[in-house]
A and B are shown apart, each in its own frame.
Chain A
Amino acid sequence: MPTELFSTTVWIPIALLLAFAVVGLFGHKMKPVVAGGISTAAILLAMVISYSTAYFYFFSDGLVEGKYVMLVPFLHEWLRFTDTLSIDMGILLDPISVMMMVVVTTVSSMVHIYSFGYMKGEKGFQRYFAFLSLFSFAMMGLVLAVNLFQMYIFWELVGVSSFLLIGFYYQKPAAVAASKKAFIVTRFADLGFLLGILLLSYFTRTFDFPTLMDPGGTAISSMAGLSFMGVSTLTWALVLIFMGGAGKSAMFPLHIWLPDAMEGPTPVSALIHAATMVVAGVYLVARLFGLYAMGAPGALEVVAFIGAFTSLFAAVIAVTQTDIKRILAFSTMSQIGYMMLALGVSGYGGEEGLGFTASMFHLFTHAMFKALLFLGAGAIIHAVHSNNMGDMGGLRKYLPVTHIMFLIAALAISGIPPFAGFFSKDEILAAAWANNQLYFWTEWFVAGLTAFYMFRLYFSVFWGANRTYEHQPHEAPASMLFALVFLGLASAVVGFIPFSAFVTADGVPFQTHMHLNIAIPSVAIGIVGIAIAAWMYMRPGTVADRLATAMPGLYKLSLKKFYIDELYLWVTHTIIFKGISAPIAWFDRHVVDGSMNGIAWVTAQVAEKTKKMQSGQLQHYGYAMVLGAVAFVLLLLYWGAR
Chain B
Amino acid sequence: MIEGIGVFDILVVSTAMFFIGIYGFLVRKNLITILMSVELVLNAVNINFVVFNKYLYPDLLQGYMFSLFAIGIAAAEAAVAIAIILNVYRQMKGIDVEHVDTMKY
| Chain A residues in the interface with B (C-beta under 8 A) | 611, 614-619, 622-623, 626
- Whether A618 and B97, one on each chain, are in contact in the complex, defined by CB atoms closer than 8 angstroms, is yes
- Whether B101 and A623, one on each chain, are in contact in the complex, defined by CB atoms closer than 8 angstroms, is no
Which 10 A-B pairs have CB atoms at the shortest separation, nearest pair first?
Answer: A616-B101, A616-B104, A614-B104, A611-B105, A622-B26, A618-B97, A622-B25, A619-B26, A617-B101, A614-B105
Distance between Cα atoms of A619 and B26 in the complex (Å):
6
Measured CB to CB, the closest approach of chain A to B16, in angstroms, equals 16
Measured CB to CB, the closest approach of chain B to A585, in angstroms, equals 38
Distance between Cα atoms of A244 and B26 in the complex (Å):
82
Contact status of A626 and B105, CB under 8 A, knowing A618-B97, A618-B100, A619-B97: no
- Name the A residues within 8 Å of B1 (CB-CB): none
- Name the A residues within 8 Å of B98 (CB-CB): 617, 619
Distance between Cα atoms of A623 and B104 in the complex (Å):
17
Measured CB to CB, the closest approach of chain A to B88, in angstroms, equals 11
- Cβ-closest chain B residue relative to A618: B97
Distance between Cα atoms of A614 and B102 in the complex (Å):
11
- Whether B26 and A626, one on each chain, are in contact in the complex, defined by CB atoms closer than 8 angstroms, is yes
Distance between Cα atoms of A216 and B103 in the complex (Å):
86
The listed residue (A616, A619, A623, A626) touching B103 by CB distance below 8 A is A616
Measured CB to CB, the closest approach of chain B to A498, in angstroms, equals 92
**Size category, B interface:** 10 to 19
- Name the B residues within 8 Å of A617 (CB-CB): 97-98, 101
- Whether A623 and B26, one on each chain, are in contact in the complex, defined by CB atoms closer than 8 angstroms, is yes
- Cβ-closest chain A residue relative to B25: A622
Measured CB to CB, the closest approach of chain B to A166, in angstroms, equals 59
Within residues 53 to 105 of chain B, which ones have a CB less than 8 A from any CB in chain A?
Answer: 97-98, 100-105
- Whether B26 and A615, one on each chain, are in contact in the complex, defined by CB atoms closer than 8 angstroms, is no
What are 23 pairs between A and B in contact, CB < 8 Å?
A611-B105, A614-B104, A614-B105, A615-B104, A616-B100, A616-B101, A616-B102, A616-B103, A616-B104, A617-B97, A617-B98, A617-B101, A618-B34, A618-B97, A618-B100, A619-B26, A619-B27, A619-B97, A622-B25, A622-B26, A623-B26, A626-B22, A626-B26
Distance between Cα atoms of A622 and B26 in the complex (Å):
6
Measured CB to CB, the closest approach of chain A to B100, in angstroms, equals 7
- Cβ-closest chain B residue relative to A614: B104
The listed residue (B25, B27, B97, B101) touching A615 by CB distance below 8 A is B101
Distance between Cα atoms of A51 and B88 in the complex (Å):
89
Distance between Cα atoms of A103 and B25 in the complex (Å):
95
Within residues 22 to 37 of chain B, which ones have a CB less than 8 A from any CB in chain A?
Answer: 22, 25-27, 34
Measured CB to CB, the closest approach of chain B to A194, in angstroms, equals 57
Measured CB to CB, the closest approach of chain B to A617, in angstroms, equals 6
